[in-house]
């Protein structure tokens, strides 16, 4: 069976992007566009190296990152294949086209959501707290059922933003729903392919946000949200070396 080509990798595009990031993005986009589907075999290292005029270490870095998240799987003696579709369907929602875009999205969220979380801790009502805790429990239950939990994760963050008593925070988060949903799903996909400790760490991050809001401690709430977002991006960009403490 003929190999399908990996999507166009046009470079030099953004010079500051590493070539491994560009290849990572190209393969993600090829899956999003349907050029590569579940079970398709990727070209080998030599073919990819010749096709894109990049070194084998660069190819290995991009493939390792994709493999770490379950986006591709390796079969001994056979090569790399597109992974299970239930791990990949979220790609259809994304407007993020590169690793640099992931970083920008998280950077934006870090500033916006930390501020919203601080205000939520300071101004939340009893009803707000009930909604936040309920959203957190729905997220936990989704994960316990083995689901990705991205929509529940987004709903939790939205409940925190709503509790800030500033509708602009909620409106901004809703306006980038597709990008946030994708970044959450990709982070969770990386975590679920790792140890139980990593999944527990992500849960503890959300718990720390809830606890700070319960205590009405705006400084701790902002710190907890920043830490959670920093660790989320680390799960994607750093992989198994990410510090999730």
Q: Please identify, among 89, 106, 137, the residue that sits at the C-terminal boundary of a domain.
A: 89
Q: Is the pLDDT of residue 73 over 50?
A: yes
Specify the higher pLDDT residue, 176 or 32: 176
Please give the residue range of the domain that contains residue 175: 94-241
Q: Are 33 and 124 members of one domain?
A: no
| Range with the poorest average pLDDT among 38-47, 134-143, 211-220 | 38-47
What CATH number is associated with residue 143?
A: 1.20.120.530
Cα separation, 53 vs 150, whole angstroms: 36
Tens digit of each residue's pLDDT (9 = 90 or more) over 157-171: 999 999 999 999 999
Q: Are 170 and 69 members of one domain?
A: no
- The pLDDT value given to residue 55: 87
Q: Is the pLDDT of residue 7 over 50?
A: no
pTM: 0.65
State what percent of residues in the chain have pLDDT above 90. Answer: 37
- The pLDDT value given to residue 23: 84
């Amino acid at each position: 069976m003929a190999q399908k080509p990996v999507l166009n990798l046009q470079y030099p595009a953004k010079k500051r992007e590493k070539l491994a990031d560009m290849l990572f993005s190209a393969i993600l986009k090829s899956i999003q566009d349907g050029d590569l589907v579940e079970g398709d075999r990727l070209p080998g290292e030599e073919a990819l190296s010749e096709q894109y005029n990049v070194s084998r270490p660069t190819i290995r870095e991009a493939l390792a990152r994709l493999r770490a998240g379950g986006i591709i799987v390796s079969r001994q003696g056979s090569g790399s294949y597109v992974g299970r579709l239930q791990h990949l369907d979220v790609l259809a929602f994304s407007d993020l086209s590169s690793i640099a875009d992931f970083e920008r999205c998280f950077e934006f969220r870090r500033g916006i959501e930390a501020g919203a979380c601080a205000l939520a801790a300071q101004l939340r009502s009893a009803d707000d707290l009930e909604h936040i805790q309920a959203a957190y429990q729905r997220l936990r239950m989704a994960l316990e059922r083995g689901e990705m939990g991205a929509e529940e994760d987004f709903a939790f963050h939205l409940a925190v933003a709503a509790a800030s008593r500033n509708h602009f925070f909620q409106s901004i988060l809703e306006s980038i729903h597709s990008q946030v949903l994708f970044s959450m799903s990709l982070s969770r996909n990386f975590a679920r392919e790792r140890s139980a400790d990593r999944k527990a760490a992500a849960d503890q991050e959300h718990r720390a946000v809830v606890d700070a809001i319960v205590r009405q401690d705006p400084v701790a709430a902002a710190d907890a949200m920043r830490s959670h977002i920093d660790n989320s991006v680390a799960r994607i960009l750093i992989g198994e070396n990410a510090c999730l403490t």
